[in-house]
Structure 1
């Protein structure tokens, strides 16, 4: 394990404040040779180091495409070292949107809480190429540390902060998405699944984030 990752892991305190956690997340991403990292549990984004990481998770959720959705082997890292070459055929919409964000490579580690596979940690790079064996190994250590932080700062304890969307925090960033889905379901007389599909479609076609679109629906700003 490299000294940089060792010192970062040792420096992360359970009671770390929001700004300290944000700086730690950014430092870990850079120490792994990544531009940024994000953690999702289930389909809920709970942690991200920067806006690009959050946007990538948002795109996977909106489009139903991307490497974080299909983790088949819970003990393996999914590596996409050349996004344009490997994903254009499989996930054309996601690949195009990711490349528009200047993303060249993606790496996804499964997140475990105890013995349970609970989600993913996704890292991106702006240059193509695989990670080294050491970076892959250290990524598992960062993933475990982030999982522990999520448990220590689980958003149910701070419900008033859900959906704030600040990097480095542990929040339910899609709380407003779930609320807007319910609003659409009632207004349009459709199932929750169809309402969510319509919300995703509106976000994608408008080029806005899913959260911003959801907020407008809640405020009755979007035409129905």
Structure 2
């Protein structure tokens, strides 16, 4: 049995190395995800991780649709990846249109189906209590993974753990160089927007992030675009209503009952009378 596992590990690392050598690069998280997609005949794969011991966030996806669904799980706070991270155990959603999946993830499962994804298999990344994220594999067709496929995926998750860590300093200082720069920028903007809303509404950053997520979900817009509008002051989030008012400044909407340019008949009549009195004088 040990020999079989050694062979499996050698095969997985060989596949990661081969994927990297196509681009003349060294093995990295991206190539581990790409090799896993190939091994499991999947549509794509995504990594959600915590590079700075903070919240788990989507950091890498092998294709745009997968990236959107990884983002959506972060926005909604639900989905196989989130559950795998929370439980520390694989979450195998073989049919996202089934009753169990829809009942478990009522917002995420239908959204995944609209993206043409019918199955997601999420594997925690870590060892023991040291959990740093999840590797999630996406398929267009429903159906379970085979036993060997599950074992392969677990080894790929272990490979991601090794690639993300070094023996001396925990998470590698080079992690930002092997994850998608676009994801890093988006996450930074989301957290900046949460801090901005927290100061604006005098609430905690956690509550501000929940407010951003609520607006993203209700408006059907990606979370990072909502954050962009908040930081550009095109969007003002009202903590009481979870709504939004746009006034071009990011400040609360102008409550002046007679803003510039508005036509107020009573005011116009009063001004006209004053002008006539001036003329008579």
Q: Mind listing any 5+ residue stretches in structure 1 that lack a counterpart?
A: none
Q: How far does residue 21 in structure 1 lie from its aligned partner after superposition? A: 6.2
Tell me if structure 2 keeps the 8 A contact 1:29–1:36: yes
Partner secondary structure for residue 174 of structure 1: helix
Q: Cα–Cα, structure 1 residues 116 and 46, in superposed 2: closer, same or farther, change >3 Å?
A: same
Q: Does 1:108 align with 2:122?
A: yes
Alignment TM-score, normalising by the size of structure 2: 0.66
My pick for the range that moved more, 142-151 or 78-87, is 142-151
Partner of 2:45: 37
Which runs of structure 2 are paired with 1:1-224 in the superposition (5 Å)? 1=8, 5=12, 7-11=14-18, 17=25, 22=30, 25-42=33-50, 43-71=56-84, 74=88, 76-85=89-98, 86-112=100-126, 116-151=130-165, 164-165=181-182, 171=184, 173-224=186-237
- Where does the alignment leave 5 or more consecutive residues of structure 2 unmatched? 1-7, 51-55, 238-281
Q: Which structure has the higher relative contact order (CA within 8 Å, separation 6+)?
A: 1
The answer to whether the 8 A contact 1:39-1:48 is kept is: yes
* Aligned twin of 2:250: none
Q: TM-score with structure 1 length normalisation?
A: 0.80
* Offset at residue 109 of structure 1 (A): 0.6
- Between 51-60 and 182-191, the greater mean CA deviation after superposition: 51-60
Q: Note the aligned Cα RMSD (angstroms).
A: 3.3
Cα distance, 1:165 vs structure 2: 2.0
Note the C-alpha offset of 1:104: 0.4
**Structure whose alpha-carbon radius of gyration is higher:** 2
Q: Deviations over 1:66-101 (max 9, x none)?
A: 122223653x42211011102112221111111111
Distance 2:217 2:117 in 1: 18
- Structure 1 residues 115 and 194, CA gap change in structure 2 (3 angstroms): closer
1:15-54 CA-partner distances (Å, limit 9, x unpaired): x759986466334312212211111124222222122222
Determine if contact 2:123/2:134 at 8 Å carries over to the other structure: yes
Q: Secondary structure at the match of 1:92?
A: coil
